[in-house]
Amino acid sequence: MAQTQILSRNQQIVLDIIEKAKGPLKAYSILFNVQKKGINAPQQIYRALDKLIKIGKIHKIESKNAFVACTSSNCEISKATAFSICEKCEVVDEVSDAKLSKFLLKFNDKKGMKFKRFNLEFFGLCKRCKIK
């Protein structure tokens, strides 16, 4: 059983904000939102983000330099992350597909590299934007 990770104060504050958000949040936007709680410096945000990523509570959307809460219960250690990103409205969803993860985690490089982890970002138009 995965034990519930005990987070420090700053880590919990940052996680709460990311979990409440409807989309990916940028580090400095998180910062502006927590200044009333006494967090004043980027370092404090980045340290919390680093930890939250490490324990799989959040993920970084690399193409956007933004952070989302993990919505896939089984990535305590995120070695297989995939996201869909709408190029129009910028909505981001975590893609959680067993077949996809399996396929990619067992994928073998021709160069003899052993993969431990992957991150996949799909781009396109979401259902809503496709119609418009």
Partner DNA sequence: TAACAAACTGTTATATTATAACAATTATAA
Partner DNA sequence: TTATAATTGTTATAATATAACAGTTTGTTA
- 14 to 53, contacts with DNA by CB under 7 A? 26-29, 38-44, 46-48, 51
Selected range binding a copy of itself among 1-9, 26-34, 40-48, 105-113, rule: CB under 8 A? 105-113
Provide φ and ψ at 65, rounded to 5°: 45, 50
Q: Please, what is the end-to-end C-alpha distance for the chain in angstroms?
A: 45
The reply on whether position 121 binds a copy of itself by CB under 8 A is yes
Neighbours of 27 (CB within 10 A): 16
Shortest distance in whole angstroms from residue 111 CB to DNA: 25
By CB under 8 A, tell whether 103 contacts a copy of itself: yes
DSSP code, position 111: T
Of DNA, a copy of itself, none, which one does residue 74 interact with (CB within 5 to 8 Å by kind)?
A: none
Residues with Cβ within 8 Å of 97's Cβ and at least 6 positions away in sequence, in order, are: 82
